[in-house]
Amino acid sequence: MPVLAQDDYTRIHIEVADGVATLTLDRPEHGNAVDDAMHSELTTVFARARADPRVRVVVLTGAGTTFCRGGDSSPSRTFTTRTGLTPVQEARLIVETLLDLEKPVIAAVTGDALGLGAILATLADVAFVAPSARLGDRHVPGGVTAGNGSAALWPLIVGVNRAKYLLMNGEVLTAAQAVGLGLAHELARDPLTAARELAARWAQLPPFALQSTKSVINVHLKEAAGRALAYGLALEEQAMAGPEFAAALTRRRTNSA
């Protein structure tokens, strides 16, 4: 039985062909917002792609017109997990397993990538972004520390002070701005086609040379994550238990009703 199997996932659609695993966040009616089930599934899917011998390259995308609008703030969400871990432990595992995946990850950002969606897109090795897409982490306006990846890793991509500005303001960037800052690789009218074309080329390259090169580069990201991620997530957990997050969550749910 394949290591990466559709039967184990309800929120992520999986296709594996010709060395390429396409992982599609699959809640299009909700903008692929990350509910409790999807959050738990994201903790295992990258580790399984790493262990599956069929897979040489991963393409990550979203169903419908949105890549991922971030965390689900619907009234039905309980912030419980399917793994037995706490939500903060799951958040750390998502980032760490993505950074540990030596196989290249190409994001096809067909629409907005916000919150956790922005983190997934920017931690991919290459992100092709639709011109109409937006990218940003709005944890702070939502009453939460930006602790689950962006505050730890974006300073390496855009610089320390620019990362502070983006995250403390909760800036939402246009696709062109994201490319200009290095948070995405290239504008593409059809990001999924561009991602699949690059994935097909990379799947034909010598796998050890390709993967070991990525591993060397990711040492820098993993060192930064090791220093900052646990601290950031502890503060995020503290913020999620506080009144600022509760008030922001109530506002979002009221506005979306």
Per residue in 171-224, pLDDT tens? 999 999 999 999 999 999 999 999 999 999 999 999 999 999 999 999 999 998
pLDDT at 97: 96
The continuous run of DSSP H or E covering 60 comes out as strand 57-62
**Nearest-10 crossing angle of helices 150-158, 116-123:** 50
Beta bridge partners of 24: 13, 61
For the full predicted model, state whether its pTM sits above 0.85: yes
Q: Which letter does DSSP use for residue 130 in this model?
A: -
Q: What would the two tokens of residue 145 be?
A: 């520390």
* Tens digit of each residue's pLDDT (9 = 90 or more) over 134-162: 999 999 999 999 988 899 999 999 999 99
From first CA to last CA, the distance across the chain in angstroms is: 43
Q: Answer whether residue 112 shows pLDDT above 90.
A: yes
Q: What percent of the chain has pLDDT over 90?
A: 81
State which amino acid sits at residue 87: P
pLDDT at 76: 67
Domain architecture of the chain: domains with CATH = 6-191+203-256 (3.90.226.10)
**Mean predicted confidence (pLDDT) in 117-131:** 97
Q: Answer whether residue 5 shows pLDDT above 60.
A: yes
